Chain A
Amino acid sequence: MSVDSATVRKIASLARIAVSDAQVEAMVPELNNILGWIEQLGEVDTSSVAPMTAVIPNTLRLRDDAVTDGDVRDAVLKNAPQAEHGFFAVPKVIE
């Protein structure tokens, strides 16, 4: 499978990365080069193989349903680009 500039634009939009026309043109051959190379995985017969879910047998643990953290609002907001009235602030999303 190979990508064209429209596909690259769509991927960039899904990934929320702004790209210029020149960047899209540069990315098309670059991504195709990489995708062409990973294509070789298709030749491996995996019909009777389960996909890997964990490299080391391990069980997901449950912990007690109790509060272990909290009351750290100022620390949470400390690195926010914009914080107002104890909240993260973003550009207006509802007209």
Chain B
Amino acid sequence: MTKLTDLGIAALRDGFRAGDFSARDVAIAFNDAVASAKPLNAFIVETPDHALAAADAADADRASGNLKPLSGVPIGMKDLFATKGVQTTAASHMLEGFKPEYESTVSSNLWRAGAGMLGKLNLDQFAMGSSNETSYFGNVISPWRRNNGDTAALAPGGSSGGSSAAIAARIVPGATGTDTGGSIRQPAAFTGISGIKPTYGRCSRWGVVAFASSLDQAGPMARDVRDCAILLENMAGFDAKDSTSLDLPVPNWEAALSSDLKGKRVGIPKEYRVDGMPAEIEALWEQGIAWLKDAGAEIVSVSLPHTKYALPAYYIIAPAEASSNLARYDGVRYGLRDLPDGANLQDMYAATRAAGFGDEVKRRIMIGTYVLSAGFYDAYYTQAQKVRTLIAQDFDKAWESCDLLLTPTAPSAAFGLGEKSADPLAMYLNDVFTVPTSLAGLPAMSVPGGLDALGLPLGLQVIGKALDEQSVLNASLALEERAGFTARPDKWW
């Protein structure tokens, strides 16, 4: 019999409905897998009781004929989502011990749909990072290793590195992620799983610890495209508590999945052929183009001329918004307080923030404070927002000749922990292919395409028009069917 932990979201849901196993058996199997995977450090808090309670409710619901969309399915929750009564830290010392009195809208939607929570997943501190090396609770270790005998610990990507590592290691069947500049897609690519960032506004930001509010967007991560579609349907939806939430019905993405791309035009942006990109990634991109042609799509060449300015614009806008959002951590209302002897209120603020924030978070708050300060605001922030308009216009122009774009997800396979952490700029450059989409608010998905020569996963990214998640999912499904990606890391943990 197949191990329950080898099943994905759809297989667990359908098997549970068919009576092949109980929800309690599923929860126990995943709880055990979580408990035995400590060396990955994927979780900050484990919540086996939450998973068991949801499972018992699901078993009772099945007995009484009241099945919910995610009955019998346990998932992991990125520790950026507020969960009532369960520590929510954003992987920071600042929020260590913080137990929200409320539930985020996205997690609340998932629990209402019948899902259970296996635990709170580790991440880069306040979602700032691309390798999960900025967490106060330690690095997440990717379950993947190079196939040349090298046992060096590899990055699971970031910021949703706990989510990606846990899914790749088969200790959760799916998880939530959040994506500000690539934090769902890049970790998905690094670990051989799938993840979609929907259109900005699809998923409520209410109860998600804020990083850069004009960019932050939640989305699902799972082993395949169908599983992502199922989770996204149960995360998305209008929420009056988020002023940028889109007041639109949630499409039935799973039911409309189709890998037939006849009539679809897929653009290949020439500016994404960056210097120094490994030949294997070029080759995978070419392979992806061939796969989409095979699925019936027409391939066209397009230009996104402002692509090279996306990263510098992002590294003004995101830190600016972060410096403003993170001003709330003042040691007064919640979180850490550091009150040196004889300190006044101002001293307390400064001491608290010095003690509570990690180096990367401080760096971004400092950059953000500087670019927003008197005399520099227009030169940096306004200019970046204007460039952002140009980047969005590039996409609008591309949509005149195509319906979707295909690019690599990241310019490299997973790197080793410590290889890039000494140079913040080198780390930022890893988001070169994911950031432009974030700036334009468009839906984009990463799916595994193959392995590099060292046996590490590489991802392909599909970008779509605003609100057209369906076409993104469908093209991703076409890639998935043709890639036949079945590789998984050998268990060493």
Contact = CB atoms under 8 A, between A and B. Distances in A.
A52 B389 contact: yes
A27 B359 CA distance: 10
Interface in B77-110: 98-102
Main SS of chain B's interface residues?
A: helix
A21 B365 CA distance: 18
A66 interface: no
Contact of A51 (B199, B200, B246, B388): B388
Interface string B343-359: 11111111101100100
Contacts of A6: none
Contacts of B441: 55-56
B281 to A, nearest CB: 23
B306 interface: yes
Given A40-B309, A56-B201, A90-B332, A16 B389 contact: no
Interface in A44-76: 44, 46, 49-56, 58, 60-61, 63, 72, 75-76
Contact of A15 (B101, B331, B369, B387): B369
Given A38-B316, A58-B201, A81-B337, A16 B366 contact: no
Given A19-B354, A38-B315, A31 B101 contact: no
Interface stretch (B260-268, B270-278, B378-386): B378-386
Contact of B367 (A34, A49, A76, A92): A34
Given A17-B366, A58-B244, A81-B336, A50 B440 contact: no
A16 B351 CA distance: 8
A79 B201 contact: no
A79 B85 CA distance: 11
B389 A81 contact: no
A38 B370 contact: no
Contact of A18 (B102, B335, B353): B353
A56 B437 CA distance: 12
Counting contact residues on chain A (CB < 8 A from B), the size range is 35 or more
B428 to A, nearest CB: 8
B323 interface: yes
A88 B424 contact: no
The residue in A13, A14, A33, A92 that gathers the most chain B C-beta atoms within 10 A of its C-beta is: A14
Q: How large is the interface on B (under 10, 10 to 19, 20 to 34, 35 or more residues)?
A: 35 or more
B312 A15 contact: no
Which residue of B357, B389, B440 has the most chain A CB atoms within 10 A of its CB atom?
A: B389
B390 A80 contact: no
A22 interface: no
Name the residue in A27, A40, A61, A81 with the highest tally of chain B Cβ atoms < 10 Å from its Cβ: A81
Most chain B Cβ neighbours within 10 Å, of A11, A13, A50, A53: A11
Contact of B101 (A78, A81, A90): A78
A19 B102 CA distance: 34
Nearest to A63: B240
A31 B366 contact: yes
Nearest to A50: B389
A16 B424 contact: no
Nearest to A26: B359
B246 A17 contact: no
Contacts of A61: 240, 243, 247
Give the most central of A1, A3, A56, A60: most B CB within 10 Å.
A56
Given A18-B353, A42-B379, A49 B386 contact: yes
B354 A17 contact: yes
A1 B98 CA distance: 40
Contacts of A38: 312-313, 315-316, 380, 384
B440 A55 contact: yes
Given A11-B366, A31-B363, A41-B313, A79 B334 contact: yes
A17 B343 CA distance: 14
A27 B333 contact: no
Contacts of B367: 31, 34-35
A41 B316 contact: yes
B362 interface: yes
A91 B370 contact: no
A49 B384 CA distance: 11
A12 B243 CA distance: 31
Contacts of B335: 79, 81
Contacts of B113: none
A93 B387 CA distance: 43
Contacts of A37: 312, 315, 425
B312 A33 contact: no
A44 to B, nearest CB: 5
Contacts of B240: 61, 63
A52 B316 contact: no
9 contacts: A15-B366, A17-B357, A50-B386, A51-B382, A79-B333, A81-B334, A88-B333, A92-B344, A93-B344
Interface of B: 98-102, 199-201, 214, 240, 243-244, 246-247, 306, 309, 312-313, 315-316, 323, 327, 330-337, 339, 343-351, 353-354, 357, 362-363, 365-367, 369-370, 373, 376, 379-380, 382-390, 392, 424-425, 439-441, 466-467
Nearest 8 pairs of A and B residues by beta carbon: A55-B441, A51-B385, A81-B337, A79-B334, A46-B386, A18-B354, A18-B350, A75-B101
Interface of A: 1, 3, 7-8, 11-19, 27, 30-31, 33-35, 37-42, 44, 46, 49-56, 58, 60-61, 63, 72, 75-76, 78-82, 88, 90-93
